[in-house]
Chain A
């Protein structure tokens, strides 16, 4: 039962990720795109952890940790570039 619930929730999260990608495509300003990309990063981290536990491949959990790290650094870097116009 729990495996079925997790698989269905993973598929729903995948659909929601693509809906969020729509906002990243049409967003009027750059900050809208940054908000959408930040949300997509959290969703993809959750999807990776759920897939790792359903398929019992526990090494993928570390992949999710690295993905969360890269997403945070990307958000901070792009926001700083938008704010100051340079990266230093």
Chain B
């Protein structure tokens, strides 16, 4: 049973690291601000969730685990909010720049 829990937790942690890697590749290779945001924020939320669930599976239900769950809920609430706000500011900045330059969208 302990070995099964360790294997399940290892699989979850490795999957989370893979999702973080996909996010970094998207951040480096994508051509635009909004494409980069599309890659990073979703992959970060998914990767953090998988890694935290792996650590919770490893540790069992203790006070530390409840603290980790609090961090996870906080990240799941605030990461999409921050992405939405960055996208809004980037869109308004781009709109302002292009009206200044006089070029078409």
**B33 A29 Cβ-Cβ under 8 A:** yes
A50-B55, A61-B68, A79-B86 known; A35+B27 contact, CB < 8 A: yes
What is the distance, in angstroms, from B74's C-beta to the closest C-beta of chain A?
6
**A42 B90 Cβ-Cβ under 8 A:** no
Chain A residues, Cβ within 8 Å of B45: 42
Question: Which listed residue, B10, B24, B36, B44, touches A19 by the CB 8 Å rule?
Answer: B24
**A22 B28 Cβ-Cβ under 8 A:** yes
A38-B40, A61-B68, A79-B86 known; A72+B14 contact, CB < 8 A: no
Q: Chain B's interface: helix, strand, loop or mixed, by majority?
A: helix
Chain A residues, Cβ within 8 Å of B78: 68, 72
**B10 A23 Cβ-Cβ under 8 A:** no
Interface residues of A in 5-57 (CB under 8 A from B): 5-6, 9, 12-13, 16, 19-20, 22-23, 29-32, 34-36, 38-39, 42-43, 45-46, 49-50, 53
- B binding-site residues for A, Cβ under 8 Å: 6, 9-10, 13-14, 16-17, 20-21, 23-24, 27-28, 33, 36-37, 40-41, 44-45, 47-48, 51-52, 55, 58-59, 64, 67-68, 70-71, 74-75, 78-79, 81-83, 85-86, 88-90, 92-93
- A binding-site residues for B, Cβ under 8 Å: 1-2, 5-6, 9, 12-13, 16, 19-20, 22-23, 29-32, 34-36, 38-39, 42-43, 45-46, 49-50, 53, 58, 61-62, 64-65, 68-69, 72, 75-76, 79-80, 82-83
For this complex, 7 residue pairs linking A to B, each with C-beta atoms less than 8 Å apart, are A2-B10, A2-B58, A19-B28, A31-B86, A32-B33, A38-B82, A72-B82
